[in-house]
Each structure stands twice: as C-alpha cells, then as structure tokens.
A and B are shown apart, each in its own frame.
Chain A
Amino acid sequence: MYLRTLERKKAFWGFVFTIPAIVFFAIFSFYPMANAFWMSFFRKELLSLKAPKFIGFNNYIYLFKSEAFWNSIKATTIFAIGTFIPMVVFSLIFAALILTRRRFQKFLQMAYYSPAVLSSVVAAAIWLLIFDPRGLSNQFLNFIFSTKGIDYHWLSNESMLRFATIIVYFWKYVGYFTIIFVAGMASIPRSVHEAAIIDGANKWQDFFYITLPLIKPTTLLVSVMSMIQCLRTFSTQYLFVQGGAPLKPIDVITLNIYNTAIRDRQIGRASAMSVILFSIIMSFSYLQIKFSKTEDVTY
C-alpha cells in the first residue's frame, strides 16, 4: 500500500517537473512552427491593422516566380556547398595530422579552435577590415602572385564576395570540427591500430582502412551538422552588407527572410520562405538522426 502511493506520488512529481518544458515548447517552438505554416497562406503585413487575407498558395507561387527568391536559393547553395566540403575535408586532415604530433598537440588544437571562441559578429568585423581594398587580403594575394597594388575586389566582385564569406565561415568553424574529429579518432582503441601495423599496414593504409571506416559515424554527423550550420548563416552576410558590400551575391535565405519580414513588412511571404527553409533543414536533420542511429560501430 505504502509503495503504491509512493509510486503514484513519484509519477505525479515526475510529470510536474516536465510541465515547464511542455508549456515552454508549446509556446515557443510548436506554436510558432504551426503559425509559420498558417501565415504562409495569408497576405499579412507587419504592423498593419488590416485583417490578414487568405490567399492560399499564392505566397509560394509568388516566391517560385520571383527572381530574388531563386537568387537566395542560389546564394545559400553556393555558400553551403562551398563552405561545407572544404570544412569537412580540412578538419578531417587536420585532426589526423594533429594526432600524429607528439609535441605541441594541445597547443595546435587550441590554436585551431580559437576563432570558434570569438563571436560571429566580431569575426565578421575583423574580416571586413581584412577584405578592405587596402587590407591584408589584397596584400597577401599581391605577395603570392608577386603583383603590385592590384585590388582583387573582395567585397565588390560577385564571386570574390561569395568567396570572402566562405573564408570567414571556414576560418571560424574548421577548428571546431577538427576537435570533434580528434575526439572521434582518439576514441579508437590503440590496439586496433597496433594490430593493423603488425599485419603489415603502413600509416596510409592504417588511415584509409582503419581510421576512416571507424570514424564514419563522426564524419557523417560532422557533414550534416556543418551543412545545417551553413544553411543557417546570417551574421557574416548581414554585417558585410551593412559595411557596404552588394546584397545580391550573398543574399542568403535567412537574410532574405529577415529583410522580407522587417524591411518589406511582408509577413506572409517571409513565413512561406521560413517553411521552405524549414523543409530543407528538416530533411538534413532527418539524415543526421538516421545516420547517428544506424551507423554505430563496434570495435
């Protein structure tokens, strides 16, 4: 009898402890999500007292016909792919190489990680000065190509501007993913490598046939994570545009949503874009969960 009331009491309290979370996520996650879907079917203007007008799929039709929207999709895709591939490849290489170092290993890890400590606005502000026509980036290129005084138009030429935002992001996050790979690689038992070496494998074979397959879950996870991260980019592009760079090449979808809702006051249209962004990121998240569940390795 006592035990049963105790069980009941515990069940009651367990539920009570989760109530704040239930309320919180209902108001600040599920409701806004549903609301975004709902509003994407309306013509609604920010701050306007006019009742929102139901227009069905017209927001979506408008977007799919709009050049600016496709430009955003293009800008986002170029940024995401252009950042994510080098980020994954280089962080993998760095992690593998850092782990072969006996000396200064911790120092290298911390040095590579350090940009991740800075806030994204600070990072963008530093690079804004570096990409100035008189800045370090031009000096560097002029040194490499042994040219003199050429301005490579980092912030005005369309492709250079895209490249510039990619560099900022790559610089900021490559160390972060390196650390994740270091953790993944360090968790492979030493005995596995030793067995491979005894069987006559050299270092390359050990890396390609032992390390790489064993950290496959980490690689997949890092790929999806960095992809999602890239699709959500905002600060760098926003600051660069504020600093005078042209909007079009780097008008990524988050920036477009922000401008459509706040500057153009088109809440309905911005919601439709949010739903599209959500669907894209959601499919990547789905992959992330699928990979992280099925690809468990046993040593």
Chain B
Amino acid sequence: MKQSIFIDIIIWLFLIIFAVFILTPIVFMFTASIMSSRNIMKIPYPWISGEFKWENYWQAIKGNDGKFFYLKSIWNSFLVASLTTIGTVLLCSLTGYGLAKYRFKGRTFIFLMILSTMMIPFEAIMIPLYLIVTNMGMQDTYAGLIVPLLMNAFGIFMMRQYLLTFPDELIDAARIDGTSEFGIYWRIVLPNSLPAITTLAILTFRSQWDNLLWPLLVIQSPEKKTIPLYIIQFATEKYTNEGAMMAAAVIASIPMFVLFFTLTKYFLSGAELFAARKD
C-alpha cells in the first residue's frame, strides 16, 4: 500500500512538471504582452511585475509604422478563413453525399483518386500551385488564398464516412415528396449532418488561420497580409518590440482559445478522427 502511494506521488510529480513545461510559454505570452521590453528581458524574469502596459496592444494594432495594418490583417485572416470554411463545408459535403448515397459508374475510381491526393504533401506542389494561381491572375488576391484550398480529400472522406450511416428513409421520403436531388442535399442532408460539419469547419478554419506558407507565396501587398505574415514581420523588424509582438500573438490566439473552450469536444474529436481513420 505504501509503495503504491509513493508511485502515485511520482506519477503526479511527473505529470505536473510536464504540465508546467507545457503551460509556461503560454503564461509567458500573456504576461509578456503587458510588460515593457526592459522587464521581459530582465533576469530573472518577473512573472508578476505589477506592470500593466496596455500600450503594447495599442502598439501591436497600430504597428511600428502607425498604419494599423494589424486590424486589416485580422480582418483578412477572418475573411479568408471564413470563406474557405464555408466553401469547404459545402463542396466536401456535396461530394461526400454523392459518393456515399449514389451508385454510378466510376464511383469507386473517383473516390480512390480523391483519396490518393492525401498522399500529395502541399509543400511538394506549392511551387506549381503558385504558378497556376499566378497564371489565373489570382496572385496577391483573396481568391488566390482561398480557391486552391477549397476542397481537401480528408474533408470529403470524413463527410462520406459520416453520410454512409445517414438514414436512406429520410432521403427516399423527400424524393417521394418530389424534392429535387439537389434539394435533398440542401434541405435534408446538410442540416442533418451538423456534428460532422462542425468538426470539418473547425479543422478548416483553424488551418487557414494558421497558414503561413501559402500566404507567404501568394500575398505581396501589406494590406492583404494575414495574421501570420503580420507577426513574422513584427519579429523581423530591426528594433523588435517584444511586448507588442506578444500582444499581437495574444490577439491572434484569442479566437482559437474561444473556439477551443466552447467546442472542446469538436477539437478533440478532430484529433481522434485521425486515430479513427483506420477503416
């Protein structure tokens, strides 16, 4: 009995030490975002400095050149991520529905071709993609950021798996009532697949919100930059204002934290989905 208490304490210590390691940088981000550079770089780091330098947030939004590009990049990120999410949800669920509930020639082939694109890493095709987008005249536009990411094989796969279990009776009943095939998708299938749609929506929104590489290639004009590009720029300025950089980081993280704490279930199920990808 005594030994098991001892082991218990060891396990708790181990888990807590790692929880501290994991949480420290996040706490650092929040505390540093309200400190002056002098305090951030003080040895030892004053976790509770009693300083509330809210100007950092003002500085982050205003930017070092006073042009308020952060507000614009927040809006850009929001717009690009939302539009991509709406498009992805609609297109992936439509394809997933077609593949799950209709039999037609080449269905399996199409499905396998779509699945095979999961093997193509984005980083390996980014250069030709960049050339395509340039040729289509979408360089330095929102469309250039959105269109190439409007669909993904994983989203289609997920929607198909979910819709395989969708009750046929509902679909048939609607068909007998004279609903058009597209109407069935729009009015019956779409509203009734909210759990899968929410997960897909969160995954899509988040990956666009995070995306650095693609905007880095496509976007040149400062007023079209997204949040990751703005933060990069902050880190590369000659006289980095550490506090303001952390303030910008906090602002960039808020939407994700809010989503995480309100929709934890979907966040975690997004992770679990990968584990369930076995079938």
Residues of A within 8 A of B (CB): 9-18, 20-22, 24-25, 27-33, 35-36, 39, 94, 97-98, 100-101, 108-123, 125-130, 132, 134-136, 139, 149, 171, 174-176, 179-180, 183-184, 217-218, 221-222, 225, 228, 231-232, 234-235, 238-239, 242-243, 254, 257-258, 261-262, 267, 270-271, 274-275, 277-278, 281-282, 285-286, 292-293, 296
Contact = CB atoms under 8 A, between A and B. Distances in A.
Residue picked from A18, A231, A254, A296, most chain B C-beta under 10 Å:
A18
A167 to B, nearest CB: 10
A112 B102 contact: no
16 contacts: A10-B104, A14-B102, A21-B110, A25-B153, A33-B120, A101-B15, A114-B260, A119-B227, A122-B252, A127-B25, A129-B242, A171-B25, A228-B121, A235-B212, A278-B124, A281-B121
A117 B26 CA distance: 11
B274 A274 contact: no
B134 to A, nearest CB: 9
B28 A238 contact: no
A156 B58 CA distance: 32
B257 A117 contact: yes
Contacts of B272: 179-180, 183
B253 A118 contact: yes
B252 A262 contact: no
Given A25-B117, A129-B32, A271-B128, A14 B123 contact: no
Interface stretch (B40-48, B49-57, B61-69, B190-198): B40-48
A50 B105 CA distance: 45
Contact of A20 (B14, B91, B101, B253): B91
Nearest to B100: A14
B15 A94 contact: yes
Interface in B248-272: 249, 252-253, 256-257, 260, 264, 267-268, 271-272
Contacts of B43: 134, 139, 149
Interface string B161-197: 0000000000000000000011001000000000000
Contact of A117 (B99, B148, B256): B256
Contacts of B217: 258, 262
Contact of A232 (B123, B231, B267): B123
Contact of A278 (B120, B182, B209, B249): B120
Given A28-B147, A31-B132, A285-B119, 6 more contacts: A9-B181, A15-B104, A39-B127, A115-B25, A117-B253, A243-B236
Interface residues of B, number: 95
- For the residues of A in contact with B, the DSSP-based class is helix
A30 B249 contact: no
A9 B180 CA distance: 11
Given A117-B267, A176-B271, A10 B41 contact: no
Interface of B: 11-12, 14-15, 18-19, 21-26, 28-29, 32, 40-45, 91, 94-95, 97-99, 101-107, 110, 113-114, 117-132, 147-148, 150-151, 153, 156, 181-182, 185, 209-210, 212-213, 216-217, 227-228, 231-232, 234-236, 240, 242, 245-246, 249, 252-253, 256-257, 260, 264, 267-268, 271-272, 274-278
A243 B153 CA distance: 35
A236 B179 CA distance: 51
Nearest to B98: A17
A228 B119 CA distance: 10
B126 to A, nearest CB: 7
Residue picked from B23, B234, B278, most chain A C-beta under 10 Å:
B278
A234 B15 contact: no
A110 B132 CA distance: 41
A36 B253 contact: no
Given A125-B249, A277-B123, A171 B110 contact: no
Contact of A24 (B91, B132, B249, B271): B91
A274 B123 contact: yes
B80 to A, nearest CB: 14
Nearest to B276: A183
B220 to A, nearest CB: 11
Nearest to B19: A111
Contacts of B12: 101
B11 A97 contact: yes
Q: Which 3 A-B pairs have the closest CB atoms?
A: A14-B102, A17-B98, A32-B128
Given A108-B15, A117-B260, A134-B43, A271 B235 contact: no
A239 B107 CA distance: 44
A11 to B, nearest CB: 4
Contacts of B185: 17
A179 to B, nearest CB: 5
A183 B271 contact: yes
Nearest to A27: B132
Contacts of B94: 17, 20
A15 to B, nearest CB: 5
A11 B104 contact: yes
A221 B279 CA distance: 12
Contacts of B182: 13
